[in-house]
Amino acid sequence: MSYALIVAEVRRGVFEERNLDSIGLGALLGTQAVLLVPDGAYEAGEKLVDAIVKVKAAEEVYLNPMNMGRMLETVFAARGKPDYILFTQSSSGMESAAYAAGLFGMPVITDVSGYDKEGGFFLKSYYSDKVFGQFKATGGPAILTVRSGSFREFAAEKPAAAAVDAMEGVSAVETRTFLEYVEEEKTDIDITKAEFLLSVGRGIGSQDEVAGYEELAGALKAVLSGSRPVIDKMWLPKARQVGTSGKTVKPKVYLAMGISGAFQHIAGMKDSDCIIAVNKDAGAPIFQYAHYGIVGDIHKVRDKIKELAKG
Amino acid sequence: MLEQAATRVLTCIQCGKCTGSCPESGRTPFNVRMLVRKKQFQAAVDEALPWYCTSCGACTIRCPRDVKPSEVIIELRSKLVEDGDIPVALQKALENTFVQKNPWGRSRNKRADWVEKIDFEVPHVSETQSKRLLFVCCIQAYDPRCMVIPVNVARLFHAGGLEFGILGEEEACCGNEIRRIGEAGLFEELEEENKAAFEEYGVKEIVALSPHCMNVLKKEYGDMGIKVVHYTELLAPLIEEGTIKLPGSFGKKVIYHDPCFLGKQNGIFDEPRSILRAVPGLDLLEFSRSREVSLCCEGGGGRMFFEVEATYQRNAEVRVLDAVDRGAEIIATACPFCVMTLEDPATEKGLAVKELSEILMEVL
Amino acid sequence: MNILVFTKRVAATQEEELRITGEGQAVDLSKVPFKVNDWDNYCVEEAVRIVDKAGGSVTAISIGDAESDEVLRRAIAMGAKDGFLVETGEVLHDPFVRGELIRGFIDKEKVPFDIIFTGVQAEDDQFGAVGGVLGGIMGLPYASMVIGIDAVEKDHVVVRRELEGGLQEKVKVAIPCVLSIQSGINEPRYVSIMGIRKASKVERKVFKASEYEKGAPKIELTKWVYPPKKGGATMLDGELAEVCGQLLGILKEKGVYQ
């Protein structure tokens, strides 16, 4: 029976939202959807797939690519080889997907952001999304990693909850073992390592307003950064400066508030995945580089987001 | 080069005229006299120090013993560059210049995009009779704020019937800042590339828009047999003779800031002033620190590309406050780096900064 | 400690507008400058630092055309002892084919190694899979997204892997192994032009990729297409509350806000 095996990403007891994209693509592929999860207490898409295989393994064992190889073998032995194995496009997903491809000699296509059923091909980004390649797997089960946000709208509730199968754990390898988690250090801020930057510019007006933006950053779990004028005035320390003469950043999200978009600033952040600009001037150059824009009073926007975030 | 610097430092008598004229001393830990002293004894130097230099050239001009402290600084920087131990922001600027031939890393293919804003054809220099090359400069080719300058100057030359052409994508960074950052190898590559283009197209005259470009093309590219000038040197006579007419009026108090690479290092003080005086209604003011002792804006020496460690009141702000004190409404200058560094503090204090061509376009 | 570092010469497309030729046959790279893959630069730096402390040597290997010599010279200028070019004029999209080629080369030429470094991904194809595929093919322990190497012992390393949201995990990996190195693991030294010129004096051995088994491709690139049209910023319109709600929605979608 043809099926798509969706390897769920579970980290610290959280069933990651990105799994919805794998489930969505699984639905598009039109085969039976079987979800593989480590056994644990969390919401795991029971109504979104046809079957769930709960493997008796600690999370750290499950997330180890070599152990995942052994688990996949067990699944194949029990259910036959799937047509597709879907992983999330994430730190662990990419790791296990590539390793499994090597282990089993299966084709692998990463960062899949589109699927054409008729043409039978997957879209994969090249040159940072400037062009896309249409890829086909030439045979056998194909391993895919699925870009976050690309397919979740196709994840649909099924009439009945999925059948749940328990699977015995595998003996964990000793050549790679998990030691511990390391939290982000809160003291020495390195803005180049932040996923989400809230950046403020001259438009915030005065040093008194900085605290309000610090609160917003806290509420959104973003790291606060700034453009040169803000640092020159010493409203923020130098380590927070984004720009040619400061730091070059490439976060997932760059939320710029009150920044006009001077060339030197843009040079320091233009490769961010998603740039959102808020400025009261509709003609501000930053809107040419942003993916999303809001023209408005930045303090009002700040306060409203804080309100909504708390609610 | 190593030997030259070594013998030069030994002639230093530690008089301190260099440090006395340095725009960085007193406000930052940078002390050029002390660095020369350390060089004399081959002593270790704190690696953050050499990066403060803005390449204004005042020390070298004032030195009574021809020690050329600016070259000593470049020497110190070269060692750090070869060791690979330089601020990350500078690395980026150098690597960008290597790949895209401009420190901003913008696409080389877009270097002539500014031409699209002009309604007449700007030919390639090879297609001109005069073989007069307008050397555009990286920041003016790419930065939206500065892009108006080549556009303006092109229009002014056109109005004055002065033929010129450009290299377009074939123009590479002049290398003035690159050499001052200490990357001699990269400077050589840029120099070679540009000189090959000049030769290939039979360039006879180079008109530079930036005093930095003019400086290196004129004095550090060797004897090319090509005349190198700053655009104000061609524009001033055209305006004086009346070939370019300025019918408009510009009733503002304008204070002129002498850029280091135009003024003290190359002696061009009068042409920009002559241009400003020719503007009807313009009230020309002077800083007390003007001409040879003009206060460096701190845009040179690679300082456009990275932040130094010390936090202090920038010269640009001091300059703007001075302009305010003298009742100026506008600070005029003839260098894109001065424009960029002066503009932020100026805007805050309610002053505008205008490059000369911007003022001219308003009265043309 | 013998560390093999794979380094790739890639098109620097960040600032360029790319054109697809024909009916989607190829991407025109004729006017695009080339440079070393950013991730591989971090790899070379990290490897050099490790052998500086632990002794041993770094061998840089590049799979590509003759021009790829550039990245080998750069690696040598940074401190690699050797540079090997596995020359091929073909563009190998399939990470499998690359992995097989590497394994074939290492086996046939008997290249000794304790650790193999690859970059997390290449700037051009951003596949991010060669390291993992290689580890799987060779049956070696593997860790990717390595943001820090905390300990290097004779038989194992302790590394930190970058996860999402600023979190990291520390894992112990036995040697020999394959590690995919994440950018930001260190601050690579600057390599001057003069330094690269000096490195040219060290011989870079050239091998032909055709001499090694690499197997048939498992994936096929059938066509290039442009992304769906995106003109400028999408402006969020509406009442303040609505607009802010939309913004939060975007943040959730991007995975930075829950």
Equal CATH topology for A3-167 and A191-310? yes
Report, as an integer, the average pLDDT of C229-258.
86
Residue count (chain A): 311
CB neighbours of A202 closer than 8 A, spacing ≥ 6? A227, A229, A230, A258, A259, A260
- Span B313-323, pLDDT tens digits: 999 999 999 99
- Span A9-28, pLDDT tens digits: 999 998 988 899 999 999 99
Return the closest-CA partner of residue A169 out of A74, A73, A55: A55
Cα–Cα distance between C73 and B88 in angstroms, integer? 21
Report, as an integer, the average pLDDT of A69-83.
96
pLDDT at C26 over 90: yes
Q: From chain C, pick out residues whose CB is under 8 angstroms from the CB of A178.
A: 169-171
- Expressed as residue numbers, the domain containing B332 is 246-363
Chain A residue with minimal CA distance to C32?
A: A127
pLDDT at A186 over 70: no
Structure confidence at residue C15 as a pLDDT band (50, 70, 90) = confident
Cα–Cα distance between B241 and C83 in angstroms, integer? 64
Residues B207 and B251 in one domain: no
Residues B108 and B229 in one domain: yes
Q: What is the pTM of this model?
A: 0.88
Amino acid identity, residue A159? P
Q: Among B305, B311, B348, select the one facing A245 at the smallest CB separation.
A: B305
Q: Pick the residue with more confidence: A290 or A149?
A: A290
Report, as an integer, the average pLDDT of A219-246.
87
Angle at A249 between CA A63 and CA B97, to 5 degrees: 125
- Span A117-146, pLDDT tens digits: 999 999 999 988 889 999 999 988 999 999
Q: From chain C, pick out residues whose CB is under 8 angstroms from the CB of A136.
A: 219-220, 222
**Which A residues, 147 through 186, put their C-beta within 8 Å of a C-beta on chain C?**
148-149, 173-184
Q: What's the confidence (pLDDT) of residue A247?
A: 85
CB atoms within 10 A of CB A185: 10
Q: What's the confidence (pLDDT) of residue B250?
A: 95
Q: CB distance A176–C174 less than 8 Å?
A: yes
Q: From chain A, pick out residues whose CB is under 8 angstroms from the CB of C253.
A: 148-149
The chain-wide mean pLDDT, for chain A, equals 91
Give all chains having 3 or more CB-to-CB distances under 8 Å with chain A.
Answer: B, C
Q: CB distance C15–B110 less than 8 Å?
A: yes
Q: What's the confidence (pLDDT) of residue B1?
A: 46
Work out how many domains chain B is built from and give that number.
Answer: 3
Q: Pick the residue with more confidence: A1 or C10?
A: C10
Lowest mean pLDDT among A46-50, C66-70, C117-121: A46-50
- Pick the last residue of a domain from B184, B206, B236: B236
Let me know: does C122 contact C93? Beta carbons within 8 Å: no
Return the closest-CA partner of residue B70 out of B50, B86, B96: B50
CATH 3.40.50.620 is the classification of domain C2-211: yes
Q: CB distance C95–A136 less than 8 Å?
A: no
What 8-state DSSP symbol labels residue A110? E
Residues B75 and B97 in one domain: no
Q: Among A66, A182, A300, select the one facing C169 at the smallest CB separation.
A: A182
Q: How far is C85 from chain A (nearest CA, A)?
A: 23
Amino acid identity, residue C48? V
Structure confidence at residue A47 as a pLDDT band (50, 70, 90) = confident
Q: How far is B91 from chain C (nearest CA, A)?
A: 6
pLDDT at A268 over 90: no
Residues B123 and B217 in one domain: yes
Q: Pick the residue with more confidence: A41 or A287?
A: A287
Residues B232 and B259 in one domain: no
Q: Among C14, C78, C197, select the one facing B185 at the smallest CB separation.
A: C197
Enumerate chain B positions whose Cβ falls within 8 A of a Cβ in A: 88-89, 92-93, 104-105, 142-145, 303-307, 311, 314, 340, 344, 348
Structure tokens at A9: 């990403």
Q: Among A234, A248, A285, select the one facing B144 at the smallest CB separation.
A: A285
Helices (H) and strands (E) in chain C, counts: 6, 15
SS3 at position C133: helix
Report, as an integer, the average pLDDT of B108-129.
96
- Span B138-187, pLDDT tens digits: 999 999 889 999 999 999 999 999 999 999 999 999 999 999 999 999 99
Q: What's the confidence (pLDDT) of residue A284?
A: 83
- Pick the last residue of a domain from B33, B65, B83: B83
Residue count (chain C): 258
Cα–Cα distance between A269 and A276 in angstroms, integer? 11
CA distances (Å), B307 to each of A239, B148, B198, B345, in order? 10, 26, 35, 16
Return the closest-CA partner of residue C119 out of C51, C47, C175: C47
Q: CB distance C170–A179 less than 8 Å?
A: yes
Q: CB distance C35–B99 less than 8 Å?
A: yes
Q: Among C11, C132, C164, select the one facing A95 at the smallest CB separation.
A: C132
How many Å from the N-terminal Cα to the C-terminal Cα in chain A? Answer: 46
Q: CB distance A263–B143 less than 8 Å?
A: yes
The chain-wide mean pLDDT, for chain C, equals 94
Structure confidence at residue A271 as a pLDDT band (50, 70, 90) = confident
Report, as an integer, the average pLDDT of A79-103.
96
Q: What's the confidence (pLDDT) of residue A148?
A: 83
Lowest mean pLDDT among A232-241, C71-80, C244-253: A232-241
**pLDDT over 70 percentage in chain B:** 98
pLDDT at C80 over 90: yes
- Span B228-268, pLDDT tens digits: 999 999 999 999 999 999 999 999 999 999 999 999 999 99
Q: CB distance C250–A136 less than 8 Å?
A: no
Q: Is B114 within a domain? A: yes
Q: Among A109, A134, A252, select the one facing C223 at the smallest CB separation.
A: A134
CB atoms within 10 A of CB B313: 11
Q: How far is B304 from chain A (nearest CA, A)?
A: 7
Question: What homologous superfamily does CATH list for A191-310?
Answer: TPP-binding domain (3.40.50.1220)
Q: CB distance A246–B92 less than 8 Å?
A: no
Fold held by A3-167: Rossmann fold (3.40.50)
SS3 at position C160: strand
Report, as an integer, the average pLDDT of B200-219.
98
Q: From chain C, pick out residues whose CB is under 8 angstroms from the CB of A252.
A: 254-256
Q: What's the confidence (pLDDT) of residue A289?
A: 86
Q: Is B336 within a domain? A: yes
Q: CB distance C244–A304 less than 8 Å?
A: yes
Structure confidence at residue B5 as a pLDDT band (50, 70, 90) = low
